[in-house]
Amino acid sequence: MATADKARRDQLKQFTARQTFHAHHRSRSVKDQWVWSVAAVVAVTISGLGLWAYSTIGPGKPATVADASVSEYREWTGELVLRDATLDITLDGASAPQAVASFVDLNSWNYFDDSACHRLTTEGLFVVQCGDPLGIGIGNPGYTFGPLENTPEDGVYPAGTLAMARASNDASSMGSQFFIVYEDSEIPDDIAGGYTVFGKVTNGLDGFIKTYVEPGTADGSTDGRPAMPVFIESITIQ
């Protein structure tokens, strides 16, 4: 009897020890996952702030918006390379010389490289918004410009349109942010007017939609951060 009781006590001790070990392991795993998640967010934020500082107050800062003549008042062709898709693009320097000049000049500084497209809209307005080095929607190159150029008279922006983002009712608030229209969208004019169309996607939009648009937004809303992160690796134009 004594032997059996001792065996049961030993089994209980072993069971308790195992439970304590597993509980500690689970707690440590959750803690490690939390630490790694926080570290990843901090790393991305620091990286974005570093890029923003370099391109807005550091040696990578353009002194001011490039002169419209930089656009050469001609059509530019190139590629917008994302991590999982490539878009062939053209820029219309004849119709939107100031916007194209700014875009070409910023790109010569590698301003857009490794930046995140922070916004996806999926109802009424069908766009992916890019060009903020911070990746959160408030970054700019340290300058803003206007006036508006090449705005659609009917307020319709066809699929493939590249247009400059700006603040509401402010025609002189364009900077580096732009949006890619992936499905025909009607955007009503505000007090300032419409949105400067400076180029278009000529190939690759279907793959872009499948990869980045179809997964929707991260929080399931109709306007938010893309569930599938959209990062611009590079833009080549000539």
User: 21 vs 197, which has greater pLDDT?
Assistant: 197
User: Which pLDDT score, from 0 to 100, does residue 204 have?
Assistant: 98
User: Which pLDDT score, from 0 to 100, does residue 29 have?
Assistant: 41
pLDDT grade, residue 60 (50/70/90)?
low
Question: Does residue 26 surpass a pLDDT of 80?
Answer: no
64 near 212, Cβ under 8 Å? no
Residue 175 dihedral angles phi and psi, to the nearest 5° = -140, -105
Average pLDDT over every residue of 201-221: 98
Average pLDDT over every residue of 184-202: 98
Closest CA to 45 of 141, 177, 139, 142: 139
Question: Does residue 216 surpass a pLDDT of 70?
Answer: yes
| Percent of the chain residues past pLDDT 90, beyond the cut | 73
Mean pLDDT of all residues in the chain? 84
Helix (H, G, I), strand (E, B) or coil at 105: helix
Six-digit token string for 124: 């009424």
pLDDT grade, residue 163 (50/70/90)?
very high
Pick the CATH number of 68-237 from 1.20.140.10, 2.40.100.10, 3.40.50.2000, 3.40.50.300: 2.40.100.10
For the chain, what is the radius of gyration of the CA atoms? 25
pLDDT in tens, 85-134: 999 999 999 999 999 999 999 999 999 999 999 999 999 999 999 999 99
Question: Does residue 230 surpass a pLDDT of 50?
Answer: yes
Sheet hosting strand 86-92, strand order edge to edge: 115-117, 230-237, 75-82, 86-92, 197-203, 161-164, 178-181, 127-130, 119-121, 223-224
Average pLDDT over every residue of 26-43: 41
Distance separating alpha carbons of residues 228 and 218, to the nearest angstrom: 8
Q: How many residues does the chain have?
A: 238
Question: Does residue 7 surpass a pLDDT of 60?
Answer: no
Place of tokens 């307005």: 125
Question: Does residue 180 surpass a pLDDT of 90?
Answer: yes
- Cβ-count burial 127-141 (b if 16+ within 10 Å, e if not): bbbbbbbbbeeebbb
Question: Does residue 199 surpass a pLDDT of 50?
Answer: yes
pLDDT in tens, 67-92: 999 999 999 999 999 999 999 999 99
Question: Does residue 196 surpass a pLDDT of 80?
Answer: yes
Q: Which residues fall within 8 angstroms of residue 228, CB to CB, at 6 or more apart?
A: 84, 211, 212, 215
Q: Which residues fall within 8 angstroms of residue 220, CB to CB, at 6 or more apart?
A: none
Residue 198 dihedral angles phi and psi, to the nearest 5° = -115, -5
User: Which pLDDT score, from 0 to 100, does residue 127 have?
Assistant: 98
User: Which pLDDT score, from 0 to 100, does residue 62 have?
Assistant: 65
pLDDT grade, residue 208 (50/70/90)?
very high
